[in-house]
């Protein structure tokens, strides 16, 4: 049958075999494909797991790094906060220390006031006892007077045939005269004692105030020196046909002196603000290296703004240093301008600070208003800040400024009276006068011109030499002392005392000087022999 089928279909036995085997081969291929596909899937799953593990590890490492970074940032923030806290704590500690110092100072002032009150109470008790003793003595004298009056009345009636009324009148007149004499003696003793104690107390208060007030004072000059990096810089400062130096002098208003002095340029001018602006401008130009008229104007303008800022800051520092509050901002600016103002070479701002401290310290000792004394002392020369802009003395200008900016009447009065133009009616005004005199008369506080200084010393020596018996005199210690050498054969030891007083009186009447001059009269007798 198969052969008949083969014959019918014309199929060879080989093809039949293929037909029979082909399904098995296909099945086997499908099976093999399924196995291979399964292995590929398993491999992909394994690779996916490996990749997932790697990603997980990377994520873990990245998280760890982020955690470290976050910890570092947290530590840095913690350190910054701690530093800020420590800085703030330090500032608060400093403020607390300042407050404690002020409280201690006030406590000391209160203790001193208590001591003064105790001393005054003791004086009152002593005076009370003296009055009681005098009353007792007066009572005894009165009793004695009564007895004496009775005897005199009897004697007068017997001898003079006088009435009792007439005798009484005579006795009263006699006793009145005696009482007046005794009262005058007592008053003179009290006045002398009060004068001695007052002078002693005043010296103690002034000495204590000067010792406690340690304010630096320096004499400012009218020239400034700017150092140059090399001699070549002088030519650049002068510029072509002198245009740079002309621009500098025009902008700053200061004379610029360039001479043979190596590596320096001298700035000359009586206005210290302009001189300081010129000095800073020239320093900035030298450091920058670009020196031409346009650059000069630009730098000078910038320096002027900086100086204005420094003036305001100087005024604020002065007010804070003295410890007064509520000062008008315009007065603070004017105080700052005093930093660049001099009087006889003495810096006016430093002088005002010293006067404020001295007046405040003396006010504490005397029980006066410390704040008023300090405020008046700081503002007493405020008129000098603008005395070149307005007419009148610096006292008149200062009074007008104080009134304009609503200062206390006592402060205005102290400013008006600090040179004696008006009579001082308050204790604070007197203290400002004294503090101003002390600050201006300190050795080295003020500077005289060399010519006036030499003339004053020559006049001092000539006045001393004009007395009879003076051999030679020498002014020493910048004119604070004069040593007078007398001829021993014409002036004896007793006469030297009167000679010293006469010289001192003549110096007071004919010579003007700050502070005091010590007159030292020296008499020396020598005998020389030679042994041969």
Its pTM stands at 0.45
Phi, psi of 392 (to 5 degrees): 110, 170
Residues 418 and 508 grouped into a single domain? no
Nearest to 299 by CA among 316, 281, 312, 283: 281
- Residues with Cβ within 8 Å of 28's Cβ and at least 6 positions away in sequence, in order, are none
Residues 335 and 437 grouped into a single domain? yes
Distance in angstroms (rounded) separating the CA atoms of residues 505 and 499: 10
Distance in angstroms (rounded) separating the CA atoms of residues 491 and 416: 49
> Distance from CA of residue 212 to its chain's centroid?
14
Strands 481-486 and 518-522 come out as: parallel
H helix intervals, 323-426: 329-337, 348-366, 370-379, 394-404, 409-417
CA-CA distances (angstroms) from residue 277 to 201, 227, 248, 387, 530?
48, 16, 11, 21, 70
Q: How confident is the model at residue 219 (pLDDT cuts 50, 70, 90)?
A: very low
Give residue 290's pLDDT. Answer: 83
Identify whether 529 is part of a domain: no
In this predicted structure, the answer to whether residue 372 has a pLDDT above a threshold of 60 is yes
Please state the rounded mean pLDDT for residues 280-307.
86
Distance in angstroms (rounded) separating the CA atoms of residues 225 and 507: 40
Domain end marker among 416, 445, 474: 445
Distance in angstroms (rounded) separating the CA atoms of residues 191 and 148: 33
Backbone Cα Rg of the chain: 51
Q: How confident is the model at residue 516 (pLDDT cuts 50, 70, 90)?
A: confident
Identify whether 530 is part of a domain: no
Residues 441 and 463 grouped into a single domain? no
Which has the higher per-residue pLDDT, 368 or 187?
Answer: 368
Nearest to 358 by CA among 216, 202, 208: 208
Residues 428 and 503 grouped into a single domain? no
**Residue keyed to tokens 């350190």:** 79
Residues 204 and 78 grouped into a single domain? no
**Residue keyed to tokens 């002309």:** 246
Identify whether 102 is part of a domain: no
How big, in percent rounded to 5, are the helix, strand and coil portions of the chain? Answer: 70, 5, 20
Domain end marker among 56, 77, 94: 94
Number of Cβ within 10 Å of residue 442's Cβ equals 17
CATH at 508 = 3.30.300.30
Residues 441 and 454 grouped into a single domain? no
Any idea which of 93-97, 125-129, 209-213 has the lowest mean pLDDT?
209-213
Domain end marker among 74, 94, 114: 94
Please state the rounded mean pLDDT for residues 520-525.
87
| % of the chain beyond a pLDDT of 70 | 81
Residues 324 and 414 grouped into a single domain? yes
Please state the rounded mean pLDDT for residues 392-413.
88
Computed over every residue of the chain, the mean pLDDT equals: 79
Two tokens, residue 94: 């400093």
Identify whether 107 is part of a domain: no
Contact predicate 298/357, CB 8 Å: no
**Residue keyed to tokens 């081969």:** 25
Distance in angstroms (rounded) separating the CA atoms of residues 302 and 287: 15
Q: Which of 139-153, 190-204, 246-260 has the highest mean pLDDT?
A: 246-260
Contact predicate 255/249, CB 8 Å: yes
DSSP 77-126: HHHHHHHHHHHHHHHHHHHHHHHHHHHHHHHHHHHHHHHHHHHHHHHHHH
Q: How confident is the model at residue 484 (pLDDT cuts 50, 70, 90)?
A: very high
Distance in angstroms (rounded) separating the CA atoms of residues 155 and 158: 5
Please state the rounded mean pLDDT for residues 512-532.
80
- For 363, half-sphere exposure in the C-beta direction (CA atoms, 13 angstrom radius) is 26
CATH at 362 = 3.30.1370.10
Identify whether 111 is part of a domain: no
Identify whether 78 is part of a domain: yes
Q: How confident is the model at residue 210 (pLDDT cuts 50, 70, 90)?
A: low
Residues 33 and 162 grouped into a single domain? no
- For 405, half-sphere exposure in the C-beta direction (CA atoms, 13 angstrom radius) is 18
**Residue keyed to tokens 């006030």:** 106
Distance in angstroms (rounded) separating the CA atoms of residues 68 and 515: 75
Q: Please tell me the total count of domains within the chain.
A: 4
Give residue 483's pLDDT. Answer: 92
Any idea which of 60-64, 190-194, 203-207, 391-395 has the lowest mean pLDDT?
203-207
Identify whether 105 is part of a domain: no
Two tokens, residue 207: 């000495």
Q: What are the DSSP E strand ranges found in 183-276?
A: 223-227, 255-257, 264-268
Identify whether 136 is part of a domain: no
Distance in angstroms (rounded) separating the CA atoms of residues 24 and 7: 25
**Residue keyed to tokens 């009435």:** 163
In this predicted structure, the answer to whether residue 220 has a pLDDT above a threshold of 60 is no
Residues 285 and 400 grouped into a single domain? yes
Residues 186 and 250 grouped into a single domain? no
Contact predicate 148/167, CB 8 Å: no
Residues 338 and 313 grouped into a single domain? yes
Give residue 217's pLDDT. Answer: 46
Q: How confident is the model at residue 439 (pLDDT cuts 50, 70, 90)?
A: confident
| Digit-coded pLDDT (tens) for 112-162 | 888 888 888 888 888 888 888 888 888 888 888 778 777 776 776 666 665
Residues 228 and 293 grouped into a single domain? yes
Contact predicate 463/503, CB 8 Å: yes
Contact predicate 348/340, CB 8 Å: no
Domain that includes residue 314, residue range: 219-445
Q: How confident is the model at residue 2 (pLDDT cuts 50, 70, 90)?
A: very low
Distance in angstroms (rounded) separating the CA atoms of residues 408 and 420: 19
> Distance from CA of residue 23 to its chain's centroid?
117
Phi, psi of 100 (to 5 degrees): -65, -40
Q: How confident is the model at residue 223 (pLDDT cuts 50, 70, 90)?
A: low
Any idea which of 15-19, 105-109, 332-336, 475-479 has the lowest mean pLDDT?
15-19
């Amino acid at each position: 049958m198969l052969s008949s089928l083969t014959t019918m279909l014309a199929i060879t036995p080989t093809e039949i075999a293929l037909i029979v085997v082909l399904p098995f081969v296909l099945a086997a291929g499908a099976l093999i494909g399924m196995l291979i596909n399964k292995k590929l899937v398993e491999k992909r799953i394994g690779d996916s797991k490996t990749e997932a593990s790697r990603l997980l590890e990377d994520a873990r490492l990245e998280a760890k790094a982020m955690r470290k970074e976050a910890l570092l940032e947290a530590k840095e923030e913690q350190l910054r906060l701690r530093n800020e806290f420590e800085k703030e704590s330090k500032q608060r500690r400093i403020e607390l220390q300042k407050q404690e110092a002020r409280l201690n100072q006030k406590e000391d002032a209160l203790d001193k006031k208590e001591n003064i009150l105790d001393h005054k109470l003791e004086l009152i008790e002593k005076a009370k006892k003296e009055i009681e003793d005098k009353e007792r003595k007066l009572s005894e004298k009165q009793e004695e007077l009564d007895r004496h009056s009775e005897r005199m009345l009897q004697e007068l009636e017997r001898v003079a045939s006088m009435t009792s009324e007439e005798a009484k009148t005579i006795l009263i007149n006699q006793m009145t005269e005696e009482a007046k004499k005794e009262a005058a003696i007592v008053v003179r003793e009290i006045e002398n004692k009060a004068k001695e104690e007052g002078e002693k107390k005043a010296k103690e208060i002034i000495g204590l105030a000067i010792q406690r007030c340690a304010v630096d004072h320096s004499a400012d000059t009218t020239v400034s020196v700017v150092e140059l990096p090399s001699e070549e810089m002088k030519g650049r400062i002068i510029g072509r046909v002198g245009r740079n130096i002309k621009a500098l002098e025009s902008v700053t208003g200061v004379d610029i002196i360039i001479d043979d002095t190596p590596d320096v340029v001298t700035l000359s001018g009586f206005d210290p603000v302009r001189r300081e602006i010129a000095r800073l401008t020239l320093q900035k130009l030298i450091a920058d290296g670009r020196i031409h008229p346009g650059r000069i104007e630009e730098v000078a303008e910038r320096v002027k703004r900086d100086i204005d800022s420094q003036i305001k800051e100087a005024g604020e520092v002065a007010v804070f240093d003295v410890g007064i509050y509520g000062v008008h901002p315009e007065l603070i600016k004017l105080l700052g301008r005093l930093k660049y103002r001099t009087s006889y070479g003495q810096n006016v701002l430093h002088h005002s600070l010293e006067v404020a401290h001295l007046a405040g310290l003396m006010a504490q000792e005397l029980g006066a208003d410390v704040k008023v004394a300090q405020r008046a002392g700081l503002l007493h020369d405020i008129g000098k800040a603008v005395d070149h802009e307005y007419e009148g003395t610096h006292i008149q200008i200062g009074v007008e400024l104080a009134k304009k900016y609503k200062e206390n009447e006592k402060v205005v009065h102290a400013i008006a009276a600090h040179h004696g133009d008006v009579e001082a009616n308050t204790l604070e005004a007197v203290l400002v006068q004294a503090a101003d005199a002390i600050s201006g008369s300190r050795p080295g506080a003020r500077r005289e011109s060399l010519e006036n200084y030499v003339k004053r010393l020559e006049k001092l020596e000539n006045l001393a030499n004009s007395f009879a018996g003076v051999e030679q005199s020498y002014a020493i210690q910048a004119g604070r002392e004069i040593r007078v050498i007398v001829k021993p054969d014409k002036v004896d030891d007793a006469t030297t005392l009167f000679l010293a007083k006469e010289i001192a009186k003549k110096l007071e009447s004919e010579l003007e000087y700050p502070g005091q001059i010590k007159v030292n009269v020296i008499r020396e007798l020598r005998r020389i022999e030679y042994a041969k």
